[in-house]
Amino acid sequence: MDEEITAQLTNGTWELAKTPPGARILPCRWVYKIKRAEDGGIERFKARLVAKGYEQQAGIDYGEVFAPTSRFASLRTFLAVAAAKGMPIHQLDVSTAFLNGELEEDLWMEQPPGYESADPEQACRLLRSIFGLKQAPHCWYVKLVAELDKLGFQPSKSDPALSIKRDEKEIVCLLIHVDDFLTTSNDKELIKKVKAAIGEVFKIQDLEEAKVFLGMEISRGVNGEVKLSQQRYIEALLQRHQFVDAKPRMTPLPPGSRVLPAEDGETELADSTKYRALIGELNYLPTSTRPDIAQAMSVLARFMEKPSKAHMGLALGVLRYLAGTKDFRLCFGGGGELTMAGYSDSDWAGDPATWRSTTGYVFTLGGAAISWNSQLQRTVAASSVEAEYQATWAAVREALWLSKLAGEMGLGSDAIEIPRGR
């Protein structure tokens, strides 16, 4: 807590002043967190002073709140390109990132609990954004883009959370997720210069070679390949649900299973929050590193409102599947030809409740999947041909975006193949 207060005072986040008549004062609180090292041990204890932003009024206390974060497809493309071209991948963490944002509104906050001054009529006049404010992410992103622009970085038109600096021979890519950065370049010295330049503007932690990013483990093979997995996350899930020694299942859902909504007379769960919590925990995997359970999670997530014991059994079956495949990973090959290929498919009226079809597609680059999707189509298809058209349309839309992204990262349009049905 002392470190947090010192950081805020040093940064000039707020100043104590007498509260003007009629001013609205936002309450605040302390939030505590234990940050753990890669081996699971305690690295440090963190304390955050957080404003209770839910009491802010739109149009008075804040305006614009939009702030982009990188897409996981961008991350996987980033890793695939780095692996193919043998480029190093380094990671940065910006300390107290939101405290760097500059506020446009006149906001007041009560004094931090435990650090009150002797004058009770004083309050904190916010000069910079603070954690908890509605506009804090937006203020941070605006400040970050402005500083990166001075260093020669331009936001990608495909993903505004990807910044690129390039000239005729050299390229530096910076992938941003709030305060976590990944950077790669075809010149190792450029990476050092970029990290040093960012360190002059913001207080950063240089984590050197990337190992863990947003809960995903990144490792480098002997031939330069990049491996992306979530084995520790899966092991933590199995431990939490007491499935460490569970008998593995061969598929996420039983072959040929037709999952239906709970009907009258079926045994409902006494506490449906357990099902919702489990689905929420599992859903991080198919969006990050596990396309093999994307279809299963798409189906099970449809029954969050009224899950039955049968639905819970199927969700736990996915855990059994993960128990036997926790070491599965995406492996982007090091070196060689870098060609992107896409595939699309659909069923017809596969959902027995709505008779809607399912769209599925996957794109690969550098030997592993970089983008995938499995979800119900928005309308009921009148024929299998119509279902295939809708699936192909979704895949082509993703292909156009990936083509644009790949071009910005230095891949030519000839490196992309048109999606095709299988």
pLDDT at 133: 95
Residue 318 clears pLDDT 90, i.e. is over it: yes
Residue 101 clears pLDDT 70, i.e. is over it: yes
Angle between helices 272-288 and 231-240 (to 10 degrees): 170
pLDDT band per the 50, 70, 90 thresholds, residue 141? very high
Residue 275 host element (H or E) = helix 272-288
Three-state DSSP at 373 gives: strand
305-309 average pLDDT score: 90
Higher pLDDT, 22 or 145: 145
pLDDT at 413: 53
Cα(85)–Cα(90) distance, integer angstroms: 15
DSSP secondary structure letters along 238-260: HHHTT-TTPPP-SSSS-TT----
pLDDT at 151: 93
pLDDT single digits (tens) 193-229: 999 999 999 989 999 999 999 999 999 988 889 999 9
Higher pLDDT, 107 or 421: 107
375-405 CB burial, b ≥16 within 10 A, e <16: bbbeeebeeeebbbebbbebbeebbebbbeb
Q: Out of 36-50, 60-74, 84-98, 175-189, which region has the weakest mean confidence (pLDDT)?
A: 36-50
Going by their DSSP bridges, the two strands 212-213 and 420-421 should be labelled as: unpaired
Task: Name the burial class of residue 284, with classes exposed (0-12), middle (13-18) and buried (19+) by CB atoms within 10 angstroms of its CB.
Answer: middle
Radius of gyration of the chain (CA): 24
pLDDT single digits (tens) 329-360: 999 986 666 888 999 999 999 888 899 999 99
* pTM beyond cutoff 0.85: yes
pLDDT at 270: 79
Residue 77 clears pLDDT 80, i.e. is over it: yes
Tokens for 343? 């595939």
Residue 287 clears pLDDT 90, i.e. is over it: yes
Task: Please answer whether residues 160 and 167 qualify as being in contact, where contact means their C-beta atoms are separated by less than 8 angstroms.
Answer: no
What is the average pLDDT score of the chain? 90
Cα(4)–Cα(10) distance, integer angstroms: 10
Count the neighbouring beta carbons within 10 Å of the beta carbon of residue 94. 22
pLDDT at 336: 60
Cα(209)–Cα(36) distance, integer angstroms: 18
> Which CATH number is correct for 337-421, 3.40.50.920, 1.20.1250.20, 3.30.420.10, 3.30.930.10?
3.30.420.10
Residue 410 clears pLDDT 90, i.e. is over it: no
Cα(329)–Cα(362) distance, integer angstroms: 16
Angle between helices 231-240 and 309-325 (to 10 degrees): 140
Instruction: Return all residues near 144 (Cβ < 8 A) that are at least 6 apart.
Output: 97, 100, 176
List every span in the chain annotated with CATH 3.30.420.10. 337-421
